[in-house]
């Protein structure tokens, strides 16, 4: 029986073995594909690069000039470009609320907002609720009411509560539940969170904020 695993000079024309033939064809295909990419008119010289656009974001009362790619989210820019890490990375698809910030006083998911969309608007992050090193009323209320366990969702919870209280100074329990419904807590501390929001409304009234 003939062994065709690898023919010698008598097995294939011109002394090329089947293994050698397949190797040569494969190398040729790779080379052609590489050459085709290199000669594509107008193609980027470096893979993964993109044009940047100059924008200015107003965040926590300060203007930040930035060069951003159109695909960058506000979440990415806040954390990776400005170092405002109080805004947390969670699901990154608009479900958990860990990345909640205020845009013109309204809670928004930073992961679902492009940085370029935020230009011309007032963005408030967790850091913007503080007065220097002093916690804001909502932050104080969450601390006093022990409204967290692992704490990862807490920044987003606080921002959602802040947005709710800016629109309604004395919300009912049902209004608090509805206002906080876009923020998930894996630890299940919802009863404490609701009490904290109610407490925050009292503290904000006293502080005049």
54 contacts 66 by C-beta, under 8 angstroms: yes
Select the CATH number that applies to the domain covering 52-129 from these four: 3.10.180.10, 3.10.20.30, 3.40.50.300, 1.10.8.50.
3.10.20.30
Q: What is the mean pLDDT of residues 190-194?
A: 98
Q: What percent of the chain has pLDDT over 70?
A: 76
Eight-state DSSP code of residue 89: P
Asked if residues 59 and 104 have their Cβ atoms less than 8 Å apart, the reply is no
**179: nearest Cα among 152, 159, 161:** 161
Pick the CATH number of 131-209 from 1.10.150.120, 2.40.50.140, 1.10.1660.10, 3.30.565.10: 1.10.150.120
Radius of gyration of the chain (CA): 29
- Kindly report which listed range (12-26, 74-88, 126-140, 177-191) carries the lowest average pLDDT score: 12-26
Q: Please indicate whether the domains covering 52-129 and 131-209 agree at the CATH topology level.
A: no
CA distance 44 to 5: 43
Reported as a single tens digit per residue, the pLDDT across 92-111 is 999 999 999 999 999 999 99
Domain definitions of the chain by residue range: 8-49, 52-129, 131-209
Question: Is residue 174 within a helix (H) or strand (E), and if so which, with residue range?
Answer: helix 173-179
Indicate whether 151 pLDDT > 70. yes
């Amino acid at each position: 029986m003939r062994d065709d695993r690898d023919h010698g000079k008598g097995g294939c024309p011109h002394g090329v073995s089947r293994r050698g033939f397949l190797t040569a064809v494969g190398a040729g295909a790779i080379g052609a594909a590489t050459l085709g990419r290199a000669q594509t008119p107008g193609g980027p010289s470096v893979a993964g690069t993109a044009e940047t656009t100059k924008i200015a974001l107003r965040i926590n009362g300060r203007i930040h000039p930035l060069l951003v790619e159109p695909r960058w989210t506000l979440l990415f820019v806040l954390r990776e470009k400005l170092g405002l890490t109080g805004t947390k990375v969670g699901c990154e698809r608009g479900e958990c609320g860990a990345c909640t910030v205020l845009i013109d006083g309204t809670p928004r998911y930073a992961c679902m907002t492009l940085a370029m969309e935020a230009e011309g608007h007032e963005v408030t992050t967790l850091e913007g609720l503080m007065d220097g090193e002093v916690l804001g009323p909502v932050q104080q209320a969450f601390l006093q009411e022990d409204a967290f366990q692992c704490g990862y969702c807490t920044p987003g919870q606080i921002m959602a509560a802040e947005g709710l209280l800016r629109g309604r100074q004395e919300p009912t329990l049902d209004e608090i539940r509805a206002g906080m419904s876009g923020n998930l807590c894996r630890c299940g501390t919802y009863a404490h969170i609701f009490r904290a929001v109610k407490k925050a409304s009292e503290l904000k009234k006293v502080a005049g904020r």
